[in-house]
Chains A and B, each alone.
Chain A
Amino acid sequence: MRKEILDISQLDKSLLHELDAYIDSLKGDKQEQLIHVLHRAQELFGHLPYNVQLYVAHALKLSGAKVNGVVTFYSFFNEEPTGKYTISVCMGTACFVKGADKVLERILKLTKTKKNEMSEDGLFTIKDVRCIGACGLAPIVTVNDKVYGKVKVNEVDGILEKYRGDHHEN
């Protein structure tokens, strides 16, 4: 276990203020609301680096180990930074039956990444998610908030290129 020494020098102070304000606004037992606080922190910082976890621990008077235990338990929380575009491949059963695994494999191959790891160029993080409730359009891929339905393996190249292109234009 690492020593629990909080170092906020690298963290954006205004985001920390926002997090403080959120924690202050909570009613009732605050420790019990750790998961909500972590959701808010991840919204603000994009992911939950070690020092953000410790910051939350201090604020809620919990041990760092306790907070880290919760962060690592739930798949929604990321300790590592994520790419500019999060590509989620729905791995719900309906999508799987319609070949989502092949789509995922192709995306991982083309971005040269593993699941939940950021691609080297910082553009993509690829995740598999469970049923998003759009089984009628299986298989589904979402890129940030944009939904692609009935995705075919040979369409993947085009979708990725589009985001690579958008990125270069900026």
Chain B
Amino acid sequence: MKTNSLDSLKTWAKSVRSDSEFRITILACAGTSCLSSESDLIIEMLQAKIDEHNLNGEVNLKKVGCLRFCGEGPIMFIEPDNITYVRVAIKDVDDIFTKHILEGTTITRLLYTSKKNELIESYENMNFFKKQFRIALRNVGDIDPRNIDEYVAQDGYKALGMSLLEKTPDEVIKIVKESGLRGRGGGGFPTGLKWAYTAAVKSDEKYVICNADEGDPGAFMDRSIIEGDPHSLIEAMTIAGYAIGANQGYIYIRAEYAISLEPLNIALNQAKEHGLLGENIFGTDFSFDIGIKLGAGAFVCGEETALIRSMEGHRGEPDKKPPYPSESGFRGKPTSVNNVETFVNVPAIILNGAEWFASFGTERSKGTKVFALAGNVKNIGLVEVPMGTTLREIIFDIGGGHPENKTIKAVQIGGPSGGVITEEYFDTPIDYDSLTAIGAMMGSGGLIVMDEDSDMVEIAKFYLDFTQDESCGKCTPCRIGTKRMFEILERLTNMEGEPADLERLETLGYNIKNTSLCGLGQTAPNPVLSTMKFFKEEYEAYAYRTKRTSYAIEGKKCIGCTKCARVCPVNCITGKVREIHTIDESACIACGACYDACPTQAILKP
């Protein structure tokens, strides 16, 4: 059935049976993290029980995208009871069915325990969710991504209908401009302006490209959106096509995300069946199709010119800009490249108006930003907050601070292109310009919390290892320079360095930044330069070789419980029961297993 007016869309939306018409609705997370803990099996087993008891008319079990609290997964939200279960396992399925679904009793052992040791029944009362506000993730976790009806019931495709039937392309661009939406892929370029540039170029063919490469090795926001709410992306890209005058879109998605393709392909087909994608959308003379292009594991392909090369079947090496893709992009035609999260904001902006969107955030950064919060923090998962929220709020209110109340010394933001932000700047409001002002950057949304035990030199080395490996090799400073920097860092951490290495690192770093062709090289030294700026003493401990490299036991805290000796993989801990243990420092491989095992925190990190 083709949809050709806003009225027919409305009728369709009304005909969808809503969750509240069921006696009980269970939103069961099938996001990546929860799937890794067998949530798909859990859902299957629960569904089998519901089938067996013929309860499908009253019990609505929905397999949804990421419910955001990944660190406590697998997660289930149960409505209207307003109960949230965390860390659900296969062995809990019987109880959930019999005790909760049939008898209506809450299973307390599956409730979340706060840091203060309180049991919390509903996600609404968890600090992790309280300060969050969703625009980009508005449907993720609420709807079944494989069912277009549910998306339509949430006003899905209404923004597309409003655009095609009631607005000119220029009017659409004007709204996006006025909303203040800026690119969420890292650069922060105003989206409306990018669309206007691409619209202004005359050409028989133009392209809309969605950058779903998500290259930051600590981020999974875009993936969660594609898996949890694929129709929002399809709708937004189609609106973009209408606005700039393109009839073809492509989603460039990294190869590792191949399983995200299943819900996306289903969604594309459903949209076509209903005349919301393909020929004559909404019965108008506007046609638009979306294809999928797979990446093959190259970080630099997240850079838009490299991405375009890769889509054309070549090695993904960046090109000089200008010309910008808006003039000459895919197949040499005008192309607008936008990030997944950028796109999915658009339907919400069209539906609610530019002013509504601009009412969130700060002076020059509007709306919200999604972060993937991880590392040494109690609450791990996806966090969407209005721009202007402070890092302190994210780390301590939403994130719950350190799981064992150790000191948090920094967060890493912006992945391999970014840097660290230290405690003294935790009150900085998060927006593009404030972050740039303190020498950091927004990046695409990776936010990694690091505690007092984190070794900043090792962290910097980790990122350099990544970038030197990912450098496409087109320009020498980046190809050779990042290798040299990595070698120096290796020398340092192997205790073979010297004080002059610190100067070499800095000089090299600035040279690479200033002479590289693309953003990869221009930002690759950032993790080193920024940790050197704030944690010079850690570099010096390596350079002057004063740093201990193995673990050690603090005698007065050791109670001789033998736990450490039992977990050590190389058996280098000796000691009798109830006597002080010692580590043979020459044999220790610094794996940290003893550190985790010790009940009295007697083990010292290097």
- Chain A residues within 8 Å of B, Cβ to Cβ: 31-36, 38-39, 69-70, 73-77, 91-94, 96-99, 101-102, 105-106, 129-138, 140, 147, 149, 152-154, 156-157
The 5 closest A-B CB pairs, nearest first, are A93-B218, A133-B220, A74-B296, A94-B374, A76-B297
Q: Within the assembled complex, what's the spacing in Å between the Cα atoms of A106 and B376?
A: 22
Query: Can you add 8 more A-B contacts, CB < 8 Å, to A36-B294, A77-B297, A136-B374?
Result: A32-B313, A35-B293, A69-B315, A74-B296, A91-B466, A130-B217, A152-B593, A153-B591
CB closest residue in chain B, given A70: B315
Tell yes or no: B459 within 8 A of A by CB: yes
Q: Within the assembled complex, what's the spacing in Å between the Cα atoms of A17 and B28?
A: 42
Q: Within the assembled complex, what's the spacing in Å between the Cα atoms of A12 and B381?
A: 45
Q: Within the assembled complex, what's the spacing in Å between the Cα atoms of A132 and B312?
A: 26
Q: Within the assembled complex, what's the spacing in Å between the Cα atoms of A129 and B589?
A: 23
Q: Within the assembled complex, what's the spacing in Å between the Cα atoms of A137 and B592?
A: 17
CB closest residue in chain A, given B453: A97
Tell me how far the C-beta of A131 lies from the nearest C-beta in chain B, rounded to whole angstroms.
Answer: 5
Q: Is the CB of B296 within 8 A of A77?
A: yes
Max chain B C-beta neighbours (<10 A), residue from A92, A131, A138, A153? A131
Partner of A93, one of B217, B312, B314, B590: B217
Q: Is the CB of A73 within 8 A of B294?
A: no
Q: Is the CB of B36 within 8 A of A149?
A: yes
On chain A, the residues within 8 Å of B31 by CB distance are 133
CB closest residue in chain A, given B217: A130
Q: Is the CB of A135 within 8 A of B70?
A: yes
Tell me how far the C-beta of B201 lies from the nearest C-beta in chain A, rounded to whole angstroms.
Answer: 22
Q: Is the CB of A35 within 8 A of B375?
A: no
Q: Within the assembled complex, what's the spacing in Å between the Cα atoms of A77 and B446?
A: 26
Tell yes or no: B450 within 8 A of A by CB: yes
Tell yes or no: B316 within 8 A of A by CB: yes
On chain B, the residues within 8 Å of A91 by CB distance are 217, 462, 466
Partner of A131, one of B217, B294, B412, B569: B217
Tell yes or no: B372 within 8 A of A by CB: yes
Q: Within the assembled complex, what's the spacing in Å between the Cα atoms of A76 and B213?
A: 14
Tell yes or no: B231 within 8 A of A by CB: no
Tell me how far the C-beta of B522 lies from the nearest C-beta in chain A, rounded to whole angstroms.
Answer: 20
Q: Within the assembled complex, what's the spacing in Å between the Cα atoms of A129 and B469?
A: 12
A134 with B32, Cβ < 8 A, contacts A70-B314, A102-B589, A154-B568 known: yes
Q: Within the assembled complex, what's the spacing in Å between the Cα atoms of A109 and B462?
A: 20
Max chain B C-beta neighbours (<10 A), residue from A69, A74, A77, A93? A93
On chain B, the residues within 8 Å of A138 by CB distance are 374, 380
Q: Is the CB of A136 within 8 A of B415?
A: no
CB closest residue in chain B, given A99: B592
Tell yes or no: B188 within 8 A of A by CB: no
A135 with B380, Cβ < 8 A, contacts A97-B448, A102-B592 known: yes
Tell me how far the C-beta of A37 lies from the nearest C-beta in chain B, rounded to whole angstroms.
Answer: 9
A97 with B375, Cβ < 8 A, contacts A76-B297, A136-B33 known: yes
Tell yes or no: B310 within 8 A of A by CB: yes
Tell me how far the C-beta of B301 lies from the nearest C-beta in chain A, rounded to whole angstroms.
Answer: 8
A35 with B33, Cβ < 8 A, contacts A73-B316, A75-B298 known: no
Within 8 A of A (CB), among B247-298: 255-256, 293-298
1/0 per residue B33-46: CB within 8 Å of A? 10111000000000
On chain B, the residues within 8 Å of A33 by CB distance are 313
Tell yes or no: B521 within 8 A of A by CB: no
On chain B, the residues within 8 Å of A102 by CB distance are 589-592
On chain B, the residues within 8 Å of A153 by CB distance are 569, 591-593
Tell yes or no: B433 within 8 A of A by CB: no
Tell yes or no: B18 within 8 A of A by CB: no
On chain A, the residues within 8 Å of B147 by CB distance are none
Q: Within the assembled complex, what's the spacing in Å between the Cα atoms of A93 and B413?
A: 11
Chain B, interface size category, equals 35 or more
- Chain B residues within 8 Å of A, Cβ to Cβ: 31-33, 35-37, 70-73, 215-220, 223-224, 255-256, 293-299, 310-316, 372, 374-376, 380-381, 412, 415, 446, 448, 450, 454, 458-459, 462, 466, 472, 567-569, 589-593, 596
28 A-B residue pairs with CB within 8 Å:
A31-B313, A34-B313, A36-B293, A38-B296, A39-B296, A76-B255, A92-B217, A92-B218, A93-B218, A93-B412, A94-B375, A97-B374, A97-B375, A97-B376, A102-B590, A130-B466, A131-B217, A131-B220, A132-B220, A133-B31, A133-B220, A134-B33, A134-B35, A136-B70, A136-B72, A136-B381, A137-B33, A152-B593
Q: Within the assembled complex, what's the spacing in Å between the Cα atoms of A31 and B569?
A: 51
CB closest residue in chain A, given B300: A73
Q: Is the CB of A135 within 8 A of B372?
A: yes
On chain A, the residues within 8 Å of B312 by CB distance are 32
Q: Within the assembled complex, what's the spacing in Å between the Cα atoms of A139 and B256?
A: 18
On chain A, the residues within 8 Å of B298 by CB distance are 73-75
Q: Is the CB of B310 within 8 A of A135?
A: no
Tell me how far the C-beta of B451 lies from the nearest C-beta in chain A, rounded to whole angstroms.
Answer: 9
CB closest residue in chain B, given A37: B313
On chain A, the residues within 8 Å of B219 by CB distance are 131
Tell me how far the C-beta of A15 lies from the nearest C-beta in chain B, rounded to whole angstroms.
Answer: 20
Tell me how far the C-beta of A3 lies from the nearest C-beta in chain B, rounded to whole angstroms.
Answer: 22
On chain A, the residues within 8 Å of B591 by CB distance are 99, 102, 106, 153-154
Tell me how far the C-beta of A165 lies from the nearest C-beta in chain B, rounded to whole angstroms.
Answer: 19
CB closest residue in chain B, given A101: B462
A97 with B313, Cβ < 8 A, contacts A132-B32, A132-B256, A154-B591 known: no
Partner of A39, one of B255, B299, B415: B255
Q: Within the assembled complex, what's the spacing in Å between the Cα atoms of A156 and B592?
A: 14
Q: Within the assembled complex, what's the spacing in Å between the Cα atoms of A39 and B258?
A: 11
Q: Within the assembled complex, what's the spacing in Å between the Cα atoms of A133 and B459?
A: 19
Q: Is the CB of B462 within 8 A of A70?
A: no
Q: Is the CB of B589 within 8 A of A35?
A: no
On chain B, the residues within 8 Å of A130 by CB distance are 215, 217, 256, 299, 466
CB closest residue in chain A, given B330: A32
On chain A, the residues within 8 Å of B466 by CB distance are 91, 130
Q: Within the assembled complex, what's the spacing in Å between the Cα atoms of A129 and B32?
A: 15
Q: Is the CB of B223 within 8 A of A133?
A: yes
Q: Within the assembled complex, what's the spacing in Å between the Cα atoms of A123 and B306?
A: 36
Q: Is the CB of B569 within 8 A of A154?
A: yes
On chain A, the residues within 8 Å of B216 by CB distance are 93, 131
On chain B, the residues within 8 Å of A152 by CB distance are 567, 593, 596
Q: Is the CB of A133 within 8 A of B462?
A: no
On chain B, the residues within 8 Å of A135 by CB distance are 33, 70-71, 218, 220, 372, 374, 380
Tell me how far the C-beta of B411 lies from the nearest C-beta in chain A, rounded to whole angstroms.
Answer: 11
Partner of A133, one of B33, B296, B472, B568: B33
